[in-house]
Amino acid sequence: MKAGYLGPKATFTDIAVQSAFPWMERIPFETIPDCLDAVNANQVDVAVVPLENTLEGSVHLTVDYLYHESNPPIVAEITVPIQQHLMVHPENQESWRETEKVFSHPHAIAQCHKFLHGDLRGASVGQVTSTAAAAKYVSDHPELKAAAIANELAAEKYQLSIVKRNIHDLPYNHTRFIAVSSQTLQKEIKLNVSHIKTTVMVTLPSDRAGALHQVLSAFAWRSLNLSKIESRPLKTGLGNYFFMIDILANSENLLVQNAIQEIEAIGCTVKVLGGYASYEADLTARKAYSSMG
């Protein structure tokens, strides 16, 4: 079986895949849409992409693609602890404080704002498609005064020297990744389950006073606990939004199904992204991967 993920090798997404789907062949893609397109087209059995980080919030590209383009359901969520390190080419290890440009994924850069503002003030920032892509670029360019923000696995894989560890702004730093697939893979995942969730995307009828209140009431009076609600622009005009809602209950639950029917009956459109378990990543799998190279 094949798992598509945001690559190249040694991204945080790769760690999520390695932890949840250790038996699968891992196929790296350059962008999140490329991963989701691959599972839409059945080129891979599952696609794993980042959804939300504790410090930086939602990955908008993923949320928007799930609403506008993607069809297969979310079958699992994997939460991974995130430790960001600053790394340079070994030739530049002694002079790392002279770094002129720091490369990473925009979310990783945002997670390390205080460090960049303090220790590397004045260095410019280069946004690339992933933390591992940044590590690879720095590895390929020893002639530049460049550094990457990435994980330990990327430092090993691309033979960089870590010059400052744990540079993320706050110690509690986790990212939620989702696995999207048209196959039922749940039974095969051997990680600890922390929650059962259903994710829906709701579009309100236009210009109806109290519509969002009615949507929330449908969950509230059934005592359905929500763990997230977030609006995103519909991209059809200013003031037009859809809402992404996480319900802490199974999609098979009658109360969830009734709530969705009620919300549709008041004129909303509901896209159910999936009912799935949320797992804690097992980072010992990461060690196994690291020794595989």
Ligand X SMILES: O=C(O)C(=O)C[C@]1(C(=O)O)C=C[C@@H](O)C=C1
Question: Which of 4, 8, 12, 200: binder of ligand X (CB under 6 A)?
Answer: 12
Q: Is 108 in the site for ligand X (CB under 6 A)?
A: yes
Of 76, 132, 185, 247, the one binding ligand X by CB under 6 A: 132
Q: Is residue 70 close enough to count as binding ligand X by CB under 6 A?
A: no
> Minimum Å distance from CB 49 to ligand X?
8
Tell me the window of 20-28, 100-108, 241-249, 262-270 that interacts with ligand X (CB under 6 A).
100-108
Contact between 87 and ligand X per CB under 6 A: no
Q: Does 130 bind ligand X (CB under 6 A)?
A: yes
What is the spatial distance between Cα 256 and Cα 11, in angstroms, rounded to a whole number?
35
Q: Among 256, 233, 258, which Cα is nearest to 246's? A: 256
Site string for ligand X, 29-68 (x = CB under 6 A): ---------------------x--x-----x---------
The verdict on 78 binding ligand X (CB under 6 A) reads no
Instruction: Print the binding letters for residues 162-181 with ligand X: x by CB under 6 A, - otherwise.
Output: -------------x------
Pick 16 or 218: Cβ nearer ligand X: 16
CB of 132 or CB of 211, closer to ligand X = 132
Q: Which is nearer to ligand X, 63 or 268 (CB)?
A: 63
Q: Binding ligand X by CB under 6 A: which of 3, 4, 13, 44?
A: 13
Q: In sequence order, what E strands does 239-284 have?
A: 241-247, 269-280
Footprint of ligand X (CB under 6 A): 6, 11-13, 50, 53, 59, 82, 105, 107-108, 130-132, 175
